[in-house]
Amino acid sequence: MKLNGEKIAVYRMKKGLSLKALSEISGVDSGTINRLERGKASPRPRTVKALCEALEVPFEELFTIVEQPSGGREMDSILIAPGLEVRVWPDLKKKD
């Protein structure tokens, strides 16, 4: 899954919010929101949560599923937030 910044912009505009207004409501810096909308930044889960709450949309609504060919490999699942699980290649998981 990948954050779809265009969806942030669409939901922000549907609510009639400027970057500054969304920033004030969510507590997320307007420059960060701008970079996220343009796909120039990767957010932390708490940033996405704050934006979702401000925009009144479910967490998963701002993401797009990105399919990659598996080449026969099995993927692992990682829980990022309650009810939100992401599948990743085992070699991409952070090692403890």
Domain that holds residue 26: 2-64
Query: For the chain, what is the domain count?
Result: 1
- 15 located within any domain: yes
- 37 located within any domain: yes
**pLDDT, average across residues 21-49:** 92
**pLDDT, average across residues 38-65:** 88
DSSP-assigned states of every residue in 25-70: HH---HHHHHHHHTT-----HHHHHHHHHHHT--GGGGEE------
Rounded to whole angstroms, the Cα distance separating 85 from 35 reads 25
- 34 located within any domain: yes
Q: What is the pLDDT of residue 4?
A: 85
- 91 located within any domain: no
- 94 located within any domain: no
pTM, 2 dp: 0.67
**One-letter amino acid for residue 23 of the chain:** S
